[in-house]
Structure 1
Amino acid sequence: MTQKKKIRLAREDWILAGFRALSRSGASALKAEALARELGTTKGSFYWHFKDVADFETAMLTYWRARANEEVIATVALSGKSPQEGLQELVRIIAGLRNAADGGLRSESAIRQWSVTNSRVAAAQLEVDTERLNYLTAQFVRAGFSHERAILLGKILYAAVIGFEYLELQQLAATQEGLTGLLDQLLLADKA
């Protein structure tokens, strides 16, 4: 009789499995037993890393915020590029998240859907959206636009990001090409 080799899973393995399950099947898939089955382990491993499912969900949201906001913004900021080039780099990064290990574009859409039925997720989504809009506004101000115009352009670009992510999931548009074209037009707009 051969023994199955035990796989030692890290906290991040569970979080990534959670995003894949969320992206595939929605928030109802965020259950210890189902995730353990997917990872080929026991629920005990889940509870080694997380107190309960709520703790797991909080860890997922913390991970998402760090990866999808803080790391992306830091990458653009550290690139030393002009504000215009920084916005173009941001579009490239967003489009590159399509196949990320955490579900990429599908995770973004799934988190938005989850936020409709979960107040903790809705609060996290609002914070992330606010951070992203503030960052975009600051980038447009740095590019020479008035604050009022920068707010508007930031909202237009962010709404387009959300829209193109959805369209790409439906295979109706390519995020990078669509956002690059829109950004080029926004940067040509009147700066007043």
Structure 2
Amino acid sequence: MPKKAATQGSKKRRERRDWLLAGLMRFADGGEQNLRVERIAEDLGVTKGSYYYYFKNRDEFIEQMLEIALEITTQVFIDRASAEATARERLASLLLSVFQEQRGKDFDFYIRQFARKNRTAARFVASMDNNRIEFLRELIEGCGKTADFASSGAVFLYNYYLGFYIRNEGKRPGKAALHEQMRLIGKMLDIDLSGGQHT
């Protein structure tokens, strides 16, 4: 009996996550106005009844969707970079991952737009930005820089990335362009990032 209940619970969690992931894809493809239950249900090939089983209302759905979004848009890159041996290699790995990420759907754009009018989204953006900047700060300091330099450098580098992201929306930089970005960042931070460039 307990084993059966656990199995049923796992199935419910998977189904809940399916809704959240499908909603996240919809959101990244058009923003908050694209989160229509009927369309998400159609994407999943199910009726919209299970949506109301898992979520009390739209606000709860959005809040849980953003919890998964933090995992997908930020933590996955941090985990990947953290597998490298040194801080310099981790920084190079992280930069390569985010700068050569395939563009297409634009979650970052839409969540910042949504954050202007929604408190949950605003809290998410603040948490996302803080997590990213803090990881950058740790990596830069780990490369032998002072705490003050690392703090300033992390903010500067993150702002640099956001500008690059906007300028290259829908594009994926070629190998030469990617290496040039790594060279420029390395020069700005006075950190040799050339050894970590594996494309």
TM-score strictly above 0.5: yes
Distance 1:18 1:180 in 2: 34
TM (norm. structure 1) is 0.79
- Which residue, out of 46, 50, 53, partners 1:41? 46
Instruction: Indicate the residue corresponding to 1:174 in structure 2.
Output: 173
**Percent of residue pairs identical:** 24
For residues 23 and 68 of structure 1, do their structure 2 counterparts lie closer, same or farther at Cα, with a shift above 3 Å needed?
Answer: closer
Distance 2:100 2:17 in 1: 20
- Which residue, out of 177, 182, 185, partners 1:183? 185
Distance 2:49 2:24 in 1: 20
2:137 aligned with 1:133, yes or no?
A: no
Instruction: Indicate the residue corresponding to 2:58 in structure 1.
Output: 53
Structure 1 counterpart SS, 2:117: coil
Contact 1:31 1:53 in 2 (8 A): no
TM (norm. structure 2) is 0.76
Aligned length: 176
Structure 2 counterpart SS, 1:174: coil
Instruction: Indicate the residue corresponding to 2:15 in structure 1.
Output: 10
Identify unmatched segments of 5+ residues in structure 1.
1-7
Deviating above 3 A after TM superposition, structure 1's stretches of 4 or more consecutive aligned residues are none
Cα displacement string for residues 148-190 of structure 1 (whole angstroms, at most 9, x for unaligned residues): 111121112101221222222154x73972642332223327x
Instruction: Indicate the residue corresponding to 2:79 in structure 1.
Output: 74
Distance 1:155 1:29 in 2: 32
For residues 54 and 179 of structure 1, do their structure 2 counterparts lie closer, same or farther at Cα, with a shift above 3 Å needed?
Answer: farther
RMSD: 2.6
Identify unmatched segments of 5+ residues in structure 2.
1-11, 192-199
Higher RCO structure (Cα 8 Å, ≥6 apart): 2
